[in-house]
Amino acid sequence: MSDNFAQSTLNIHKEESTGDKKLPTHAKAVIIGGGVVGCSILFHLAKFGWKDVVLLERDELTSGSSWHAAGQIHTISSDPNISRLQSYTIDLYKEIEETSGHSVGLHITGGFYLASNKTWYDYLKRERSKARYMGLNQEFISPKEVAERHPLIDPKHYHAALWDDQDGDLDPSGATYAFAKSAKVHGAQYFTHTPVTATTQRPDGSWDVTTPRGVINAEHIVNCGGLWAREVGHMQGINLPVQPMEHHYLITDKIDAVANHPTRLPAGIDYEANIYFRQERQGMLLGTYEPKGTPWKVGGTPWDFGHELLQPDLDRIADRLEMSFERIPAIGEAGIKDMINGPFTFGPDGNPMIGPVPGMKNYWCAVGVMAGFCQGGGVGLTMAEWMIDGEPSIDVWAMDVARFGEFATPDWGTVKSTENYERRFVMTFPNETLPKGRMQKTTALYDRLVAKGARMGQGFGLENALWFADGPEDAHEEPTFERNRSHDYVAREVKAVREAVGGIEVANFAKHEFKGAGARAYLDRVLAGYVPKPGRLTLTPMLTPKGKLYGDLTVACLGEEHFMLFGSGAMQEAHRRWFEKDLPADVTYQNVSDDWHGIALSGPKSRELLHRITREDVSGEAFKFRDLRQTFVGGVPVILNRISFSGELGYEIYCKPQYLLRLAEAIEEAGAALGYRWYGARALMSMRLEKGWGVWTLDFRPDFDAAESGMDVFINWKKDFVGKEAALKAREAGPSRKLVTMTIDVDGIDVSNDEAILKDGEAVGYISSGGYAHHAQTSMAMGYVSAEHAEVGTKLQVEILGEMYDAEVLGAPIYDANGANMRA
Ligand SMILES: Cc1cc2nc3c(=O)[nH]c(=O)nc-3n(C[C@H](O)[C@H](O)[C@H](O)COP(=O)(O)OP(=O)(O)OC[C@H]3O[C@@H](n4cnc5c(N)ncnc54)[C@H](O)[C@@H]3O)c2cc1C
């Protein structure tokens, strides 16, 4: 069987390309870029029925980063749905090999994830827990077993290893060609030596794709430019925050122990050393992510860059190599046959950026795919589903290009992509806030809250308070899986809210504004719930045509033809894309999230505080639960909503950013005598758990429908709305799984998310979110379980770092079950 050292595959395949054929003048979709990602999308589109699809490649296929990849493949990823897609990708290689008749040089050897200390072992236990409910074949093996399976590894450096059956390696060039040729078998075309020089949108929304060989008019275009993704984006004024990074791997001379081993050696990843390794012919291949990454061509990738490699710089990776040679001594003792330094593209959080670009019509991208041979198949599947069906079959939020907005500038992208490269195999703890690219967006309260001891986090580029220490010097915590030092401080914040009054910034909530004669009718159609009358608020789910959750939104009616929707800050660009897709002519829409900052007041004394800083009658009779006013608070103009996510009597006060400081001062002054305290996101998350309220991206996501998530209670079944047919079908069938809230009998540690839920040793679901409920003084979680285990009082078990803890399904919120406090 052929082996997979990339240079051995640099025998550029000239045969079979449609390089000399005439370009078509029209196509359903044009894909720009013939790396593994573009070819996989071409294959999936054609396989799923779009035959009229064309891929254009400026040189030969694999002329970007694809040809010099190390070709190692594995399923593990921080996001379970990406893991699923990686598993799909690996399984797909056999199919494309058969369809195309082109070898992908696949070796499924199985692979180790090596933990050299207890913390890494804990991390792997979390991964193992995910694998339980995802059905992935992973098991722990001892260091002794590691050495038995891979005699080159010195087991004394390791604590434990997670073994995955599906890992291995392939020939990157062969895999890319197999995708392209399989696409051809399904009816698609690809053209090499056909650089795209311009993309121009016609008034009818279709795209003219210009090349030296002619122009193709296409309904959709897809930027799969890889190393040139930024440049292809620039043709359309799109600034993608991706960055090519230099990356080294080495290949050894023949090692007798490898040559004489009866089977191909397994692949491996050593987290602490930040290395990956596998057998290459009769030697070994070892790649490393050095602690100080080197961005390549920050100003832009030259068009004449082709099949060159970069100058290796051994000094840069010397300490990683030293560590590796201690752990796999035979590699250190062998001669180095080749040292590869090649660039490939990273995104700000290390995950791909795919999907329809917000603000554009039929402009798609699949860029920043940094593990193209692990993820390319899954990216192709997802893109094809999205383009053909209008939505992917699973939640791909972790890869959605819309998770970044205007804040993700090219400079920010370079900083964060570099950070991500450096952290390729470095774990991020549940309480960890990554240091790079901070203060990209701040509110007027930033300095004030930091001076009061705020420990800040970042969401959608915006700094927001996580918790409050006793002062700036005190605002620190160590990354850990266990309860951290913020625990007691958060308890103090919860106590203030539950017993007196607290305030939290709400700049990080999304705000979407709709105006016009058709606004009510439009919202009635896109939202599944009730659209309120003027002066009132409602809570509503938003569904996809297939009945999956696509939003949980608070709707404010500011006037008969004027609405504001409040929702997930992270989803704001995704929602903007959603709303702009089919907006009628008599409705105007704007994402106004940055135009409205504010403070939410919560607690039994919040009414008294509010009363002291507004002339509005805010008594319970005059200003009821879910009322809203456009009025003045603290002397500044505001939108005042009587609603709260803490489960207490509370108010969200939204003001223009320039008034925020004044509003905050007024609240602090008036609140001093009432026990006012600032609180952060951790306290809010604790309190909403006590109410059993889910949050977007964790508990609510398009993997689930309204019935499964319990959001169906807010549906107005009497009207027509997007997703109704599917939602009705789901209601009739009854949910097969359900979101439940549980208490967990555990001390000193809490769930975060993605842990397995078990019944009698069998995985029956997973944790979507959780933590410590400070008022109720118990550990809690929310999670999806099979419907038969969702009954009130069901006893389950939850796996936290490999230990099983008893959990019990609750029937009602553990705090203020009938909502009396909130409605007071
Ligand atoms: C040293 C190294 C080791 C790696 N090891 C692994 C590994 O072990 N496992 C793994 O999964 N991944 C690995 N990778 C990453 C992998 O190579 C990338 O994830 C993958 O190649 C990305 O593919 P792509 O299609 O997005 O981009 P690219 O391969 O860069 O392809 C983009 C294509 O678009 C074409 N193009 C650009 N602009 C235009 C235009 N205007 N008109 C027409 N065509 C255009 C280019 O010519 C190019 O062929 C490694 C990368 C490197 C550098």
- CA distances from residue 401 to 97, 356, 357 in whole angstroms, order as listed: 30, 7, 7
Tell me the pLDDT band of 21, cut-offs 50, 70 and 90: confident
CA of 251 from ligand 1 middle (Å) equals 20
Average pLDDT over residues 635-639: 98
Statement: residue 2 has pLDDT above 70: no
CA of 196 from ligand 1 middle (Å) equals 17
CA of 119 from ligand 1 middle (Å) equals 33
Statement: residue 13 has pLDDT above 60: no
Q: Are 642 and 628 in contact (CB under 8 A)?
A: yes
CA of 126 from ligand 1 middle (Å) equals 31
Block residue for tokens 């939003």: 551
Give the closest residue (by CA) to ligand 1 atom 47: 63
Give the closest residue (by CA) to ligand 1 atom 27: 226
Q: Are 195 and 146 in contact (CB under 8 A)?
A: no
Average pLDDT over residues 514-526: 98
Statement: residue 440 has pLDDT above 80: yes
Average pLDDT over residues 62-71: 94
Q: What is the mean pLDDT of the chain?
A: 95
User: Which residue among 65, 83, 374 has the greatest number of ligand 1 atoms within 8 angstroms of its CB, and so is best to mutate?
Assistant: 65
Statement: residue 207 has pLDDT above 90: yes
Q: What residues line ligand 1, using a CB cutoff of 6 Å?
A: 32-38, 56-59, 63-66, 68-72, 195-196, 224-228, 232, 247, 249, 340, 342-344, 369-374
Give the closest residue (by CA) to ligand 1 atom 38: 225
β-bridge partners, 785: 738, 765
Instruction: Extract the tokens encoding 34.
Output: 């013939």
β-bridge partners, 783: 740, 767
Statement: residue 8 has pLDDT above 70: no
- C-alpha–C-alpha distance, residues 621 and 618, integer Å: 8
% pLDDT > 90, the chain:
95
CA of 202 from ligand 1 middle (Å) equals 30
Give the number of the atom of ligand 1 that is nearest the alpha carbon of residue 38: 25
- C-alpha–C-alpha distance, residues 152 and 334, integer Å: 12
CA of 209 from ligand 1 middle (Å) equals 21
- C-alpha–C-alpha distance, residues 650 and 638, integer Å: 15
Average pLDDT over residues 343-353: 97
- CA distances from residue 576 to 356, 360, 582, 589 in whole angstroms, order as listed: 12, 11, 11, 9
- Is 68 or 689 the better-scoring residue by pLDDT? 689
Q: Give 283-323 pLDDT, tens digit per residue.
A: 999 999 999 999 999 999 999 998 889 999 999 999 999 99
For 460, the 3-state DSSP assignment is coil
Statement: residue 4 has pLDDT above 80: no
Q: Give 718-774 pLDDT, tens digit per residue.
A: 999 999 999 999 999 999 999 999 999 999 999 999 999 999 999 999 999 999 999
Q: Give 416-428 pLDDT, tens digit per residue.
A: 999 999 999 888 9
Tell me the pLDDT band of 88, cut-offs 50, 70 and 90: very high
User: Which residue among 36, 56, 66, 354 has the greatest number of ligand 1 atoms within 8 angstroms of its CB, and so is best to mutate?
Assistant: 66
User: Which residue among 373, 374, 379, 383 has the greatest number of ligand 1 atoms within 8 angstroms of its CB, and so is best to mutate?
Assistant: 373
Predicted pLDDT at 18: 58
Average pLDDT over residues 621-644: 98
CA of 289 from ligand 1 middle (Å) equals 17
Give the number of the atom of ligand 1 that is nearest the alpha carbon of residue 194: 43
3-state helix, strand, coil in the chain (%, to 5): 30, 30, 40
Tell me the pLDDT band of 594, cut-offs 50, 70 and 90: very high
Q: Give 69-84 pLDDT, tens digit per residue.
A: 999 999 988 899 999 9
Predicted pLDDT at 286: 97
Statement: residue 87 has pLDDT above 70: yes
Q: Give 794-822 pLDDT, tens digit per residue.
A: 999 999 999 999 999 999 999 999 999 99
Give the number of the atom of ligand 1 that is nearest the alpha carbon of residue 367: 26
CA of 408 from ligand 1 middle (Å) equals 22
CA of 189 from ligand 1 middle (Å) equals 20
Give the number of the atom of ligand 1 that is nearest the alpha carbon of residue 235: 41
CA of 237 from ligand 1 middle (Å) equals 22
Q: Are 130 and 79 in contact (CB under 8 A)?
A: no
CA of 270 from ligand 1 middle (Å) equals 24
Predicted pLDDT at 334: 96
